[in-house]
Amino acid sequence: MDVLSHLFNTFRIQANVFHNGQYCGSWQLDTSGTRKASFHVVTHGQCEFLTHNGTRHAATLSMGDLVLFPRDSEHRVSSSINVTTELNTSKSQPFSDGLRDDGTGLVCGFLEFEHQSNNFLFDLLPDYMIVRSHEAPWNTNLKQILDLMITESIAEHPGVQATLNRLSEMIFMILIREKINDESQSSGFAAALRDLRIQKVLEAIHNDPAQDWTVESLAAIAAMSRSAFAAKFKSLLDETPLSYIKRWRMQSAYRWFRDDGITVAEAADRCGYVTEAAFAKAFKRELGVSPGQVRAK
């Protein structure tokens, strides 16, 4: 399995669409303050997007456009730039009442990871992203997903909530994948995955966390000298190869506890630890919770 798929499977993004309807007349909303990533997709009409506590106009959003806030940035989405209606007080109307000419259809939701560990996938993205449906490259499948979200949103078929949740998760994963392909980033995880030598090393680590990896064995996979490999890895990921391995083992163990219900002894074995005590100590140090606390959930 490739590294990014491992990360998506381990951290597991979860979307929760809390609004699907149309706002009419004068209105403005802000979904920040929850410590969660949030997003808005315009499914009908248009609206204005403002940043900096509503003082700076960023863009006019039209049908099919998406704005994403990976780090819970304060913002305003509103019917007009100079709207005076009190924030988050307007009630929306369902699409079953018919599409209003003065209405703006919005799918709004939160995104968060199920994993206990803080992870870096959100950090790959800027404070906010605007995705224009008409500019989305066809080879990313993004436009097709946004079009499907519009259709599902307005039709309100049975199961629409779950469908919109899954589509939102797919959009986020595609945006992460596209960001990794952005060559403007010269360091960090995206740059590490673009370096074919380091990518091979990361795939080896992720596919076999129990292996007794050494800097020498990893350097051999990268076809580099020990010193050159260690320096390159550190320059890209800002940590040593062995530190990365330890962190990935604990993150994987968390998922195994949560999804597979394995014992602490089994987790220690999968992570290459000789004793349960040594594993449990490393787990608590890395994630801030004990194996028993995770297994009890």
pTM score over 0.85: yes
pLDDT in tens, 231-250: 999 999 999 999 999 999 99
3-180 folds as Jelly Rolls (2.60.120)
76 closest CA partner among 104, 112, 40? 40
pLDDT, residue 187, reads 78
Computed over every residue of the chain, the mean pLDDT equals 92
Give the span between the Cα atoms of 242 and 132, in whole angstroms.
41
Under DSSP, the state recorded for 258 is I
pLDDT at residue 139, rounded to an integer: 66
Tokens of 127: 């404070």
**Residue 190 is encoded by which pair of tokens?**
């995206």
Closest Cα partner for 131 from 120, 147, 119? Answer: 147
Q: Band the pLDDT of 213: cuts 50, 70, 90.
A: very high
136-190 pLDDT tens trace: 776 678 999 999 999 999 998 999 999 999 999 999 999 998 888 877 777 788 9
Q: Could you report the per-residue pLDDT of 52-75, keeping only the tens digit for each?
A: 888 899 999 999 999 999 988 899
Tell me whether the CATH fold assigned to 3-180 matches the one assigned to 189-295.
Answer: no
pLDDT digits 0-9 by tens, 11-32: 889 999 999 999 999 999 999 9
Q: Which of 166, 139, 169 is nearest to 152 (CA)?
A: 166
CATH topology of domain 189-295: Arc Repressor Mutant, subunit A (1.10.10)
Domain ranges of the chain: 3-180, 189-295
Quick one: average pLDDT of 252-276? 92
Residue 45 has pLDDT above 70, yes or no: yes
Instruction: For residue 99, give the amino acid letter.
Output: L
pLDDT at 119: 63
Strand order from edge to edge, sheet including 103-113: 13-24, 103-113, 37-44, 66-69, 129-131
Least confident residue range of 119-128, 162-171, 221-230, 248-257 = 119-128
The H or E element spanning position 190 is helix 189-194
Rounded mean pLDDT of 286-292?
Answer: 91
